[in-house]
A = this chain, B = another copy of it.
Amino acid sequence: MLLSTEAVTAARMIGEGRLAGLIVCEDDGTPHTVLGGSQVVRFMIPEYVQEDPTLARVYGEDAAAKLVDRLSTRTVRDLLPRRQDRTALPVVDRDATTVEIAAVMARMHSPLVAVLDDEGRVSGAVTASRLLERIFTRDGDASS
C-alpha cells in the first residue's frame, strides 16, 4: 500500500483480509511505516466521541456506516501521525533468520516486520502470530 492510496481502500483491505495492519510504502516501493488497524479506526471517530463514552453510546448502528464517510477524500498519508520516527522501521532482509525477525519485532514492539528485497523494496511481511506459529512448528517437527 502506498502513501497515496485512498484511506477507504486501506480500511477495506484490513477489514476484508482480517489483517493486523498494513505496510505503507513510498511510491518507489521502499517502506515508509506500518499502519495498524486501530489507527484507521481512530481516524474514523471524531475526537469528542473518543473522549466521551456516553456520547458514543447514543450512536445507533446506522451511524456506523457514516464513519466510512470520514475517510473519503483522505489518503493513507493523512492517517499517519505527523511525526514519524523514520529510523525505527521494523524491517529485515529476505535472508533473515527466525531469531533475527523475532529480535526486530521484540526491539520495536511491532506486531509486524516488513521483509525487503535486494533493492530495498517491501516484498512481504511477517506477523507476530505467524512467527510464533513457525517457531512452534519447528519445535514440534525438526524436519520441517
* Contact-size category for A: 35 or more
A32 and B104 alpha carbons, distance in the complex (Å)? 27
Decide if A57 is an interface residue (CB 8 Å cutoff): yes
Given contacts A100-B56, A100-B59, contact A18 B134 (CB under 8 A): no
- Which residues in B have their C-beta under 8 angstroms from that of A135? 11, 15, 44, 64-65, 67-68
Smallest CB separation, A142 vs chain B (Å): 7
Q: Is the CB of A133 within 8 A of B16?
A: yes
Decide if A109 is an interface residue (CB 8 Å cutoff): yes
- Which residues in B have their C-beta under 8 angstroms from that of A107? 50-51
Decide if A84 is an interface residue (CB 8 Å cutoff): no
- Which residues in B have their C-beta under 8 angstroms from that of A138? 61, 64-65
User: Interface of A with B (CB < 8 Å)?
Assistant: 11-12, 14-20, 36-42, 44-45, 49-51, 53, 56-57, 59-61, 63-65, 67-68, 96-100, 102-107, 109-111, 127-136, 138-139, 142
